[in-house]
Amino acid sequence: MKKIKTLIGTAMLAASLTACDNKPKETNMEDPYLWLEEVEGKESLAWVEDRNTETYARLKEDSRFNGFMERSLEVYNAKDKIAYGSIRGDKVYNVWRDSKNTRGLWRMIDLEEYNAGKDTWETILDFDKLAADEKENWVYKGRDCYSETGRCLIRLSRGGTDAIVVREFDMKTKSFVEGGFSSPESKQYLAWYDQDTLMIATDFGPETMNDSGYPRQVRLWKRGTELSTAEMIFEAPKTDTFSFPTASRRHDGTYVGVLHGPSFFTREFNVMVEGKLTKLAISEHAELTGYMGDTMILSMRKDWIVGSKTAKAGTLVSVKVSDAAADTVENSLATVYAPAEGASIDGTSIGKDRILVNVLDNVKGKIIALHMKEAEWISSDINLPANGTVSILSNDDSTDEGFLGYDSFLQPDTVYHINAAGETKAIKSLPARFDARDLVTEQKFTTSKDGTKVPYFVVRHKDTKMDGKTPTLQYGYGGFEISIKPGYLGGLNMQWIENGGAYVVANIRGGGEYGPSWHQSVLKENRQGAFDDFIAVSEALINSGLTSPKHLAVRGGSNGGLLMGAMITQRPDLYNGVICAVPLLDMLRYHKLLAGASWMGEYGNPDIPEERAYIEKYSPYQNLDSAKDYPEVFFYTSTKDDRVHPGHARKMAAKMFGMDKPVLYYENTEGGHAAASNLKQRAFSDALQLVYLMQKLQD
């Protein structure tokens, strides 16, 4: 990975470097810890090594550490895991990881044999062997296949970063194509234009990446030519968020084009019409779900009024591509599905003649099927268990065969095969990983500061005494319209429950649990509402008698790490432990670090005075107060996280050290934004966190 350019001048950097002891020395600079933003700087990495050594001495040397790690690995590497697959025609494809295949095997099996539970998998590509042969720390990041030729674009990352290399692979020969398409390492996107041409958005050189570090140009790259000679078909302003190629290749039509995001939550749709890239007359607040014949299927984030018609926020709508290209949208704009009050669309997948929609109803899932009948969309419920989380695992657009999933906090995953007629049959179930007979799950609601009703789930032992002594771990996220749903407990959460703890998931605003409005209500200047929701859940847990501040810890990562930062600085009295993972914390500089500029639609722009004014009120890094008492915080991140800059966690930890506040810090030297690139690293992280929680809440 290329080192990021230092963000301060050489003289300032030299002046700010401090001894890497437990308390970095203060200087007269506005930010004395800015030097920690140099990701792979010698001094920065020395500081990280010292912090890791301290954390290992405290957590790794605990007598429980090895047992916790082995228990997680037992689950992650289990031979009886479900091999989740994607259907393409009569084949099922899967990437399998276990103790032997830590990087994974890409393999395939006949659909009939998969449904019958047979183990007749055929290996296509062994990523462990590839990494060993090439002496590279390859992490598989996905593929894009051209089904007619059996050629695939394989995405590979060094150490789990978002930056990837892309190489053409032939499924028939099970080998990379000699002289085939191969793009250099970059944050990049590719799609097949035709079998001999790619659409590619990558780093083409100076000024071709935007302020967020993503490509701003899309070019046509013909087989056998140099990448530098590729024809540019689209270029976005440097300040815009993203631009990437798209391709839909179905039995009933092919559409290729460019999806452009002026901001994180707005879209412009461009489709090739008669060889010309044409901007479609589609609302910037629509999300493209896909195509069905000559029709686009869109999910609306805000109301879209076109003449006498209105496409409501939170609904699924359709419009003919030809009308969108000719700016005659009103001719064909129609509602496909509108969820009832209290429900929201959580996912959509388009098959051959059917659309599957994942619906959340008060954070509990169901799946409906939509068919066109006599020019109207007809919905029908799919037969799956209730009161849990459902998912569309795979939906083949050539056959309408698919796989659906169901699980809950206490019920293991089950995979259902759904046929073209909509009939479902359970074909695979995960064995129970823990004894759930004495456990219960409750969904509760509490009232936030502004009167909003906020749902949360509690998983606990059924005989829990409401005496305020139950060790409790509360989790939250609250951002980017991402819904946090019940899922079978594993790894850290499973062991926490096994060791007598209670686990809580707070469905705070900022997520998508109740549709776009649930997210949009706490954007930018209203961000405090998400923090207030999380605080309200914590207070409800304490007032119910389940736990008390002495026995309550909280955990969150990425945007959830920002949430944790707000809990540290705003309500330190509520918690005795905080796990803050791959976090955003310096919100006055987040937009200058890695992909941060792309999130200004969520948080605001600190360079605009009126927006800076509300951001600095909650920005955790700036709101630390040496006069306050804080719970001990466990920060963890990754050196290879090229999405959320590790400088956030480094600087916050260093500043707290400098204030003599209790801090633990761990930084994995690889792993990307997930902070773990394989199952062993994930189990290692589980064990560190579990020991920390046991020490804080139970010992």
Q: List the Cα angle 534/597/677 in 5-degree steps.
A: 70
Closest by alpha carbon to 647, among 684, 623, 621, 626? 621
What is the number of other CB atoms lying within 10 angstroms of the CB of residue 5? 6
Mapped onto helix, strand or coil, the DSSP state of residue 74 is helix
Instruction: Please tell me what DSSP assigns to residue 137.
Output: -
Measured distance CA(232)–CA(190) in Å, rounded: 14
Measured distance CA(468)–CA(375) in Å, rounded: 59
Contact at 8 Å (CB) between 313 and 300? yes
What is the number of other CB atoms lying within 10 angstroms of the CB of residue 221? 22
The CA-atom distances, in angstroms, between 623 and each of 174, 332, 626, 635, 656 are 55, 52, 10, 17, 11
Measured distance CA(180)–CA(178) in Å, rounded: 5
Measured distance CA(555)–CA(577) in Å, rounded: 9
Mapped onto helix, strand or coil, the DSSP state of residue 698 is coil
Instruction: Please tell me what DSSP assigns to residue 324.
Output: H
| C-alpha neighbours within 13 Å on the C-beta side of residue 60 | 11
| C-alpha neighbours within 13 Å on the C-beta side of residue 422 | 15
Task: Locate all alpha helices (DSSP H) within 321-366, ordered by sequence.
Answer: 321-326
Measured distance CA(304)–CA(288) in Å, rounded: 14
Closest by alpha carbon to 695, among 47, 23, 57? 57
Contact at 8 Å (CB) between 316 and 310? no
Residue 673 annotated to the active site: yes
Measured distance CA(434)–CA(564) in Å, rounded: 29
Closest by alpha carbon to 144, among 135, 154, 134, 136? 154
Residue located via tokens 């419009």: 319
Which class for 92: exposed (0-12), middle (13-18), buried (19 or more C-beta within 10 A)? buried
What is the number of other CB atoms lying within 10 angstroms of the CB of residue 547? 28
**At residue 508, what are phi and psi to the nearest 5 degrees?**
-75, 165
Containing 655, the helix (H) or strand (E) segment is helix 647-658
Measured distance CA(537)–CA(548) in Å, rounded: 12
Non-local (6+) Cβ contacts of 138 within 8 A are: 103, 127, 130, 131, 156, 157, 158
The CA-atom distances, in angstroms, between 577 and each of 67, 378, 496, 667, 696 are 22, 50, 14, 18, 6
Of 16, 44, 183, 558, the active-site residue reads 558
Closest by alpha carbon to 316, among 247, 384, 379? 379
Contact at 8 Å (CB) between 243 and 236? yes
Of 285, 417, 551, 673, the active-site residue reads 673
Taking every pair of Cα atoms in the chain, the longest distance, rounded to a whole number of angstroms, is 75
Side chain identity at 274, as an amino acid letter?
A: E
Contact at 8 Å (CB) between 538 and 446? no
What is the number of other CB atoms lying within 10 angstroms of the CB of residue 134? 10
Positions marked active-site = 558, 673
